Amino acid sequence: MSITAVENELVSQRVVSEEIEKIHADAQAGETQPRLDFPPYRSAILRHPVKDLRHADPEGAELFAPAFGRSDVDAGESDLTTGAAGEPIGERIAVHGRVLDGDGRPVRRQLVEIWQANAAGRYAHQRDQHPAPLDPSFTGTGRCLTDDTGRYSFTTIKPGPYPWHNHRNAWRPAHIHFSLFGTDFTQRMITQMYFPGDPLFALDPIYQSITDERARALLVAAYDHEHSQHDFLLGYRWDIVLTGGQATLMERPEDHHA
């Protein structure tokens, strides 16, 4: 099948936007995690469980996240702008914040991993076919450990938006992928951080898979002028709150099978 034929099979943004609108109109408030069954994101159609998730009481290995230490991560891995021969192209930024549990306690000494497109919206990934330039000075991967107050910080380049083939003329809002661990393995999560004011939010079926507007907004970083550096970079702040955890479990034993 030719590329043109495949392109012609893609539905328009209007069709996808109408699907999203209908789902949101029927959704209850307070549904704060993404729907797994969200057909506007076409790749989800065959990849979501149809049966309800089974309630389980965590035990054994589920109660303990893996531990990471200085042997695992170099200090330099939190700066995505150094290490190559030259300076990466783009808008230099610092993204910082805290990793907290649901009761506001810091998640200490825990691994945070990120990956992202370059300033032109291209990933350094062999399957990314977007005809935008690769940047030889930017791979777009970073790691750090949170400190004793749960803080993390990365220095990087603001990623660009990029097209994808979910539908015709589909574009992802600029984002940074975050991989996070808590104190319990059951808090393990991967998500995406977005930038404030992106006009693509309303059009994006991945962002809109979270039907609760306030919950969606939790994925958007805030511009943080206090964290911007004179003559050097712009600051963004984004705090991450993990679900559940041991403390919640012990305080609410009656809720185990709720």
Partner 1 sequence: MPELAATPGQTIGPFFHYALPYPGDRELVPPGSAGSMRLHGHVYDGDGHAVADALLEIRQADPSGIVPATAGSLRRDGASFTGWGRTITDPAGHYWFSSVEPGPARLGGAPFFAVVVFARGLLNRLFTRIYLPAGHAVLDADPLLSSLDAGERGRMVAVREADGSLRFDIHLQGTLETPFLTFPGQT
Binding-site string for partner 1 from residue 40 to residue 79, where x marks contact by CB under 8 A and - marks none: -x-xxxxxxxxx-xxxxxxxxxxxxxxxxxxxxx------
Q: Which residue has the tokens 């893996």?
A: 66
Whether 41 is catalytic is: no
Is 177 catalytic? The answer is yes
Binding flag, residue 140, partner 1 (CB under 8 A): yes
Cβ at position 232, least distance to partner 1 in Å: 25
Q: Which tokens is 210 given?
A: 């979270």
Q: What is the DSSP letter of 96?
A: E
Report the DSSP beta bridge partners of residue 113. Answer: 143, 179
Any idea which residue has 């996808």 for tokens? 16
Decide if residue 240 touches partner 1 (CB under 8 A): yes
**Rounded-to-integer distance, Cα 149 and Cα 73, Å:** 18
Of 96, 98, 122, 162, catalytic:
162
DSSP H or E segment with residue 215: helix 213-217
Among 13, 137, 141, 153, binds partner 1 (CB under 8 A): 141
Pick 62 or 79: Cβ nearer partner 1? 62
Q: Least separation, in Å, of the C-beta of 147 and partner 1?
A: 16
Q: Is 175 a catalytic residue?
A: yes
Among the listed residues 21, 31, 91, 147, the single contact to partner 1 using CB under 8 A? 31
- Residue type at 101? D
Instruction: Give the SS3 label for residue 162.
Output: strand
Burial class of 248 by CB neighbour count within 10 A (0 to 12, 13 to 18, 19+): middle
- Answer yes or no: 172 catalytic: yes
**Active-site residue identified among 172, 194, 207, 236:** 172
Structural contact between residues 216 and 200, judged by C-beta atoms closer than 8 angstroms? no
Residues of this chain, 171-200, that bind partner 1 according to CB under 8 A: 177, 179, 185-186, 188-192
Active site residues: 123, 162, 172, 175, 177
